Amino acid sequence: MEDPPPPPPPEPEPDAPASPPREEPDPSPPPRRLLRLRCAVQHYEWGRRGAASLVARLAGDADPDPDCPYAELWMGTHPSAPSTILDDGTPLRDWLALNPDALGPAVAARWGGDLPFLFKVLSVAKALSIQAHPDKKLAEVLHALRPSTYKDGNHKPEMAIAVTEFRALCGFAGIEELKDVLRTVPEVEGLLGHEYAGKILSLKEYEGGNEVKSNLKSAFAKLMTANRDMVSEALAKLINRLNTESKIRTLTDKEQLVLSLERQYQEDVGVLATLFFNYVKLSPGEALYIGANEPHAYLSGNALNVWPLQTMLSVLNFPEIMRGVPVQPYVRRYTPPFDEFEVDCCLVPPGELVVISPVPGPSIFLVMTGEGEVQVDSVTDGEKAKEGDVFFVPAYTELKFSACGPEFMQLYRAGVNSRFFS
C-alpha cells in the first residue's frame, strides 16, 4: 500500500491589518459641574411657623402652612433626610458612590466615600430641650441602653452661626456665678440638698478642672433627676417670687429667661437648669462651637448649623464665640477645631466678581439672600443662582460669583476643614 501523498503546503496568510494608533488618555479632568440639590425640611414642634420661618422661605415654599413648624433645612447625605439631585432625584449619597473623585482622594479615604458633615438651617421659635451630645465612648453606651433617644454611637460636636439674633444656653456657667445662684435662689438649693450645694460652694476657680467638672456634673445630674412633684413646687415658688420682685426691681437676663421659658414649658426641670449655664446672645455673623459632652440648648432665632456625621476628634471643655476671619476679599471663614467641617460666608457686592479658589474637598453652597450668577472653572456658561438655591460642588472646582441687581448676594459654604489638608 502506497503512502498517502504529503499534505499541500499551507497557503501564505494575508498580511494582518495595521493596528490603529494608540490614543493617549486626555490628561485634563472632565469638566466640573454644579449639582443643584433638593433638600429636606424637618417639621419639629419648636420651629417657626409658616412664612415667619427662614427655613420655609429658603425651601421655596410659596404658600407655607401658617400652622406648620418649619424647623430645619438639611443639606447633605444624612440617611434620615438625604438631599437629592434636582435634575433626576438621585440621592446625593448614591451619586457620590458612583463619583468618588468628587470628594477628592483625602476625603474619600478618610470618611469612606461620603460627606463628613451635615449642613443645616435652623429657625427656632421655642427653646429646644437641654442636651449634651456625648463623646464617642459615652455615645456607644447610651446608644446601647437607649437607642430610641440616642440614634447612633457617634459624638456630635457642632457649630452654629447666627443669621439673625440668636440666643442659646451653652456650657456650665463659671463657679462664682453658680455659687451666686445657690445663695440667691433657694428653690434650686433646696432641690440639690446641702451635700451637693455644699460641694459647689466649696469649689475654687483655680482648682483642678477634673474636680470642678465632676462636681458640676454631679450637682446637675441631681437637679435633673429630682422628684417631679418637688420640681413643680420649687418652680412655682420661683416664678411667684420673680413676678413679685419684678415690680420693685429690674430682673436679670437669666431671671427674665426663666419666666419666658416657664411659659413655654410649665413644670419642666429644664427651666431651673437654665440657671446652671452660660446665657449667650449672638449677633448676626457671630458663631459658637460646642464640643461633645457640653450641655446646651438653642432658644430662639435663625442660624446655620454644622456637625459631623462621624466622630474623629477630641472633646472641648467650653464653648467659644467666633466672628470669622477674612480669607480673601468678601469672604470670611469660621474654623472650628474639628477636621470634618468649616464654613465660609461670602458677600458678593453688585458689580463685583468674587472668585472662590478650588479646594481639595467637596463643598455645599447655600444662597441665603439676593440673586446672581455662578460660573464653574471658567469653561462653562454661567448659571443663575437665587435665594434658597443649594449646590453641591466637587473637589478642585473654581467658582465665580456675580450679583445681579442693586442688592448683595450672600452665600454660605460648608466644606471639610482646610486644616485637614495641611
Structural domain spans, the chain: 35-157+291-421, 174-273
Is 195 annotated in a binding site? The answer is: no
Kindly report each contact of residues 183-188 with a partner whose C-beta sits within 8 Å and lies 24 or more positions away, as own/partner: 185/238, 185/275, 187/234, 187/235, 187/237, 187/238, 187/241, 187/272, 188/223, 188/234, 188/238, 188/272, 188/275
pLDDT at residue 6 in the model = 52
pLDDT band at 95 (very low <50, low <70, confident <90, very high): very high
AA identity, residue 91:
P
Q: Kindly state the cell numbers that stand for 175.
A: 463657679
Is 256 annotated in a binding site? The answer is: no
Quick one: fold of 35-157+291-421? Jelly Rolls (2.60.120)
Q: What is the pTM of this model?
A: 0.85
Q: Report whether pLDDT(417) > 80.
A: yes
> Per residue in 58-82, pLDDT tens?
999 889 999 999 999 999 999 999 9
Domain at 174-273: CATH code: 1.10.441.10
pLDDT at residue 26 in the model = 39
pLDDT at residue 409 in the model = 97
pLDDT, mean of residues 173-183: 91
> Per residue in 221-241, pLDDT tens?
899 899 999 999 999 999 999
pLDDT at residue 23 in the model = 42
Q: Report whether pLDDT(30) > 70.
A: no
Q: Report whether pLDDT(22) > 50.
A: no
Q: Rounded CA gap, 268 and 128, in Å? A: 12
Is 262 annotated in a binding site? The answer is: no
Is 13 annotated in a binding site? The answer is: no
Among candidate residues 397, 357, 414, the one with its CA nearest the CA of residue 101: 397
> Per residue in 317-355, pLDDT tens?
456 789 999 999 999 999 998 899 999 999 999 989 999
Over the Cα atoms of the chain, what is R_g?
29
Q: Report whether pLDDT(83) > 60.
A: yes
Selected residue with higher pLDDT from 213 and 359: 359
pLDDT band at 392 (very low <50, low <70, confident <90, very high): very high
Kindly report each contact of residues 83-88 with a partner whose C-beta sits within 8 Å and lies 24 or more positions away, as own/partner: 83/37, 83/38, 83/39, 83/40, 83/390, 83/392, 84/37, 84/38, 85/35, 85/36, 85/37, 85/38, 85/392, 86/35, 86/36, 86/37, 86/38, 87/36
> Per residue in 112-151, pLDDT tens?
999 999 999 999 999 998 776 555 555 555 455 555 544 5
> Per residue in 42-52, pLDDT tens?
999 999 999 99
Q: What are phi and psi of 75, to 5 degrees?
A: -120, 105
Contact between 287 and 159 under an 8 Å Cβ cutoff? The reply is: yes
Q: Report whether pLDDT(3) > 70.
A: no
Contact between 306 and 159 under an 8 Å Cβ cutoff? The reply is: yes
Q: Report whether pLDDT(5) > 80.
A: no
